[in-house]
Amino acid sequence: MSQPNFFLPPMTSEITGGCRWVGSKYDCKDIQPGSYRLALSEEAHSYFLEMLERKTEVAGCFVMDMHKGLLEISKSRIRQGRRDNVDIPGGCILAFHSHPGKCPARGDSCALDCPSDADMLLVLHDCMRGTFEHWVATHTGYFITGISEHMRLTLNGMTPARRREAEKNVAKVFKAAHKSFEGRLQRGTATLDTFRPRWLEIAKREGFNARFVPRGTVPTTVLNVG
């Protein structure tokens, strides 16, 4: 992969659309081709800290400031949700939603943070429509998830009926994983720290590109523009 390109003309408008998916990269108007490393801004991080103190989920799109190499919050596209679900605005290249649920005092025995089967279906559907990544902001850090090019090509080659069946199987895998680990967590035979890497392994096996960025580390991503 080429080095991130930081020599760009100033960008003044919200870059939440204006880009189209062209295989394994994006075609963005007025943006030079290259690989761009984007980091979550301090303002966006503070926004998530505030949203995580609410009792309901919040979703939206990131604004990509390609000139500064930062990810900001698109304030005009924020969606307010309910305790455990929220509608994600369409057309995001980089989407997000929050998981504000708090664990008990013994936080190491709670799996609330990890994306659910419904979350992973949402990621799958949005990424098949052109979203690059979906970020889930939690009290312990950020889960950043997209789909592999192999998954994209495989699903594109299926009939609608076979794709629906494949999607159901993906949901079943994550639902079973959560149910199994929740039981072990409640019995004290596992912790969130042991569940999280297992969840990441399952996500990779199922065709997702997933990683976890712990609280205290600035999350970044690389956007390829061709």
Tens of pLDDT, residue by residue over 29-53, are 777 788 889 999 999 999 999 988 8
Q: Which of 116, 166, 141, 130 is nearest to 52 (CA)?
A: 141
Average pLDDT over residues 113-128: 89
pLDDT computed for residue 187 by the predictor: 81
Q: Which of 126, 91, 80 is nearest to 15 (CA)?
A: 91
Distance of CA 171 to the CA centre of its chain: 16
As a whole number, the mean pLDDT across the chain is 81
Q: How far apart are CA 139 and CA 103, in angstroms?
A: 9
pLDDT at 3 over 60: no
Q: How far apart are CA 130 and CA 147, in angstroms?
A: 11
Share of the chain above pLDDT 90, in %: 41
Name which residue leads in pLDDT, 18 or 1. 18
DSSP-derived 3-state class of residue 205: helix
